[in-house]
Amino acid sequence: MYGIVLGVIAFVFHHYHNAYLATTLSAVSIALLSMTVAEVAEVLAERLEEPYGSFVLTFSAVIVEIILLYMVLMTSHNDPRAVDTVKGGIISAVIVDMNVLLGLAVFIGGLAFKEQEHNEDTSSTYTTILLVATSALLVPSIMHFTSESHHDLILASNIIGFVLFCFYIVIFIFQTKTHSHFFKATARSRIFRYKRRLAEGEEADEEQPDAFERLSTVGNFVVIFALIALIGIVAEIFADEGMSLVQEYDFPVGLAGLIIAIISVAPEIMTAITAARNDQIQRVINIAMGASTVSIMLTVPALLALSYTTAHPLTLDFNTLQVGALILTIVLAWKTTDDGYTNYFEGTSHLFFFICYAIIAAFY
């Protein structure tokens, strides 16, 4: 409700050309509406088995991300730097997922339970996928420096986008059909968590179902689609007014992309923190790494296709900072999750890495 009210107020300020308040209120409105989407997705996730439960949350979050970035891309006819902001948003979404979301959840879970166990096959598979996807993104980035033809760069970007989409189809079959056990908590980790709860004398508290839990599965899907439609309307205000401020004050486009990523990932962060507090670190890994995978494999092809409706077709020539930070993030995630256990120090490592990236992005 608060998200809708703030969205209406943002529209009023947008009508009266108050860019500061319109941008701020629309950003908060999007975050609140996205959190409601995450709340509904959580209800649906509880009714579905993994990895389908995590899919609902990650797909809904990625749709919000695509909408936000596409609205920014549509402003490129006024400011070509909108294209660079979108590129920064694509990479930053993965940086935020793998460092802020994973880092905060692992840190909080580590403080609460000292050590948490997950299925090491999950992180091993996801880091392999993400390294391959990052290598694919390197192709147009290298061509930016080696090829003088912009047409070749556009063609290479489109081919890479198609390859990523095809790769995701294979990954989806791998996750849901042939190797779904790779993405579920192991029997050992479930017993480990159960014994600890018995030792701590924890008892499950019965809670009253909320409004979304009382709705049917179909009803909840209708609610999600309606909320995403509202987010799309508010996102248009955010993109229009926000990019005008970026242009007016020469705001760093890398930092602008990072802010967009944080807004779109905020609901997943809250869900992951809740899961970590409930000693569900497997769910955290699925959300963080699954969202990063979907963010590259689906967001990139979708935005490449949608960019042809705008003034500037999107290309995948990311700058050195973005590609370097992406590779280092994946390597760090691999090292902190490959043994199947996490603790608060590993979460701290991701958070400090993100702080360093944010500082450099502000001045790059």
The 10s digit of each residue's pLDDT in 232-284 is: 888 888 888 888 887 777 778 788 888 888 888 887 888 888 888 888 888 88
Q: Which of 38-52, 232-246, 344-358 has the highest mean pLDDT?
A: 344-358
State residue 313 phi and psi, 5-degree precision: -60, 140
pLDDT tens profile 118-158: 888 888 888 888 899 888 888 888 876 776 677 888 898 99
Residue 211, pLDDT > 60, answer yes
| Helices 19-47 and 2-15, axial angle in degrees (round to 10) | 150
The percentage of the chain sitting over the pLDDT mark of 90, rounded to a whole number, equals 13
pLDDT of residue 222: 84
Average pLDDT over residues 349-363: 90
Q: Which residue has the higher pLDDT, 180 or 100?
A: 100
Average pLDDT over residues 198-221: 63
Q: Which residue has the higher pLDDT, 44 or 359?
A: 359
Average pLDDT over residues 311-322: 84
- Residue at token pair 């990072």: 258
**In whole angstroms, what is the distance from residue 121 CA to residue 339 CA?**
9
173 closest CA partner among 62, 300, 51, 338? 51
Average pLDDT over residues 202-213: 56
Whether omega for the bond prior to residue 252 falls within 30 degrees of 0, making it cis, is no
Residue 279 carries which DSSP code? T
Q: Give the count of alpha carbons within 13 A of 51, CB side only.
A: 28
- Residue at token pair 């290598």: 135
Residue 298, pLDDT > 50, answer yes
Residue count of the chain, please give it: 364
Enclosing H/E stretch for 341:
strand 341-342
Cβ burial, residue 118 (10 Å; 0-12/13-18/19+): buried
- Three-state DSSP state, 317: coil
Residue 350, pLDDT > 90, answer yes
pTM of the shown model:
0.81
Both structure tokens of 153: 């760069």
> Which pLDDT band, with edges at 50, 70 and 90, does 117 fall under?
confident
- Three-state DSSP state, 49: coil
pLDDT of residue 187: 46
pLDDT of residue 166: 92
